[in-house]
Amino acid sequence: MRLTYFKMPLVRDHSLANGSSLIAALLGTFIALYVMQSLVLRVRRYLRMQHIRGPQTAGWSRLWLLRQALGGECHKVFFETNEKYDPNWLATGPLAKVGPYHVLTSDPDLIRKINAARTTYQRGEWYNALRFDPSKDNIATCPPEKHLELRAKMAAGYSGKGVEGIESKIDDNILALVQLLETRYVSANLPFDFGRKAQYFTLDVISDLAYGDPFGFLDKDADRYDYIRIAEEQLGILLMLTIYPWIISLLSSPVLKFLLPTDKDLVGFGRFMAIAKEKAGERFGPKKKLQKDMLGSFVAHGLSQSEAESEILFQIVAGSDTTATAIRCTLLLIITTPRVHTALLSEISALAPTLKKQQVISDEQAREMPYLQAVIKEGLRWFPPVTGMMSKKVPPGGDEWKGVRLPPGTLIGYSAWGVMRARQFWGDDAAEFRPERWLEASPAQLKAMEASLALTFGYGKWQCLGKDVALMELNKVLVELLRRFDLCIVDPTKPWNSVCASIFIQSNFWIKAYARNL
């Protein structure tokens, strides 16, 4: 009876049974059609790029790209990928397929073309991850017309026009770095992690230049607000966002927004958001502060309060990590290459009698030191600080490069390591740190070399506005560290920890410094 009791309603209710069967059939059909459509789209997507060679799996999904990005050595992998799939630069110029829509190039001519002032290419989705405050655009993420408008308003601030004391503020922070090393480490015969000290220096410089108030990393000799630690821990997430930008919209939703930093946070990136908001707010309203610094220039040239706040934030993040990497890497290359170290010290010694102990070399003097300039150029070539793809999107009509069709919407990324290490351009000694190449080159060769090196700072409408400030820091800090200290690596077998995540995370760069007689 119990069995009959359960079966009877099912037998009697034919409409319910038929309805359930219909729903199940429709659902199955929908799933089958969805799977079939997805498969067809994937095949079409793969076929449109099949004429460009690359890792087999890269044409089907972005997982190959994600795996390399998170591997810590994507700069080398990208270089090796271009070398492998077009070693002679003959077929594709060179181009390698690294994702369903993604192509990687180490051809400087193509990079200049897609970044030129009048280019029809647009920034790709890679840049969306640079919206550090998801609710606000900045110069790296805004629409093209707005980008040009912001560049025009901010150019004077970065060039120093109307800004008081750019060079003297850099000098003050160099002397603060020197004093820290002398009083806390050299006098006590202690090693120090220059990986951290270099970033303390660049963070203090950029905040001093931006709004006249250094963060105080050097003064405290500490990672204030745990900013560096937290930023480094979150770089993997940032990399994921450059490859899967739809995650940004997901994180910005009301449900998940609590995961993002806010200006209420006391540590990390959120704390910098609060500082940016506070400093921008001081320049507006009835009691606005008038100050001839970069922020003052931005405001004077028409930036709104919201824009000023967003640009301060971007300036701090983008301007400190990359310059710190350039300083760290170039210094490591100098002190581990005896020939270069000796030649540079000789050039510095010739200038030393003209400098007092509490004086910092001027930018003008440094620019007149040919070997120093060759060392800086070679350091940037040998170890470019930014290795992110910074992809640009092929315009709707498509394009062609050296006979290779580039379908509309293709994202062309930049292999910085490939451009700067290509034997076809730099010669068989491309992998050697050899500053002399810049002094031996003919005028025509030098012009071509400098044009390729300039890509380190971007190109055309997307060239880095902070280029001159970064070079000024390099000119000065390298000379002052080398003329004041005899520097040596604590463990030559493992000089540092260096991990690539579009930019470099470099720590445990342990150095001993011994005072020189000035």
Share of the chain above pLDDT 90, in %: 58
Residue 488 forms beta bridges with which residues?
A: 512
Within 13 Å of residue 207, how many CA atoms lie on the same side as its CB?
21
Q: Which two tokens stand for residue 505?
A: 């995370």
Q: How far apart, in Å, do the first and last CA atoms of the chain sit? A: 107
Predicted local confidence at residue 87, as pLDDT: 57
Residue 515 forms beta bridges with which residues?
A: 485
Residue with tokens 């507006």: 284
Decide the pairing of beta strands 102-105 and 411-414.
Answer: parallel
- Once rounded to an integer, what is the mean pLDDT over residues 64-76? 91
Q: What are phi and psi of 124, to 5 degrees?
A: -85, 180
Please choose, from the candidates 222, 224, 221, 202, the residue with its C-alpha nearest in 3D space to the C-alpha of residue 274.
224
- Once rounded to an integer, what is the mean pLDDT over residues 49-68? 89
Q: What are phi and psi of 283, to 5 degrees?
A: -95, 5
H-helix or E-strand containing 123?
A: strand 122-123
Share of the chain above pLDDT 70, in %: 90
Predicted local confidence at residue 34, as pLDDT: 60
**What is residue 516's three-state secondary structure?**
coil
Within 13 Å of residue 38, how many CA atoms lie on the same side as its CB?
8
H-helix or E-strand containing 393?
A: strand 392-393
> Residue 35: is its pLDDT beyond 80?
no
Please choose, from the candidates 55, 49, 53, 51, the residue with its C-alpha nearest in 3D space to the C-alpha of residue 100.
49
pLDDT tens digits, residue range 380-424?
A: 999 999 998 999 999 999 999 888 899 999 999 999 999 999 988
User: What's the distance, CA 8 to chain centroid?
Assistant: 70
Any binding-site annotation on 142? Answer: no
Predicted local confidence at residue 38, as pLDDT: 59
pLDDT tens digits, residue range 299-358?
A: 999 999 999 999 988 888 888 999 999 999 999 999 999 999 999 999 999 987 888 888
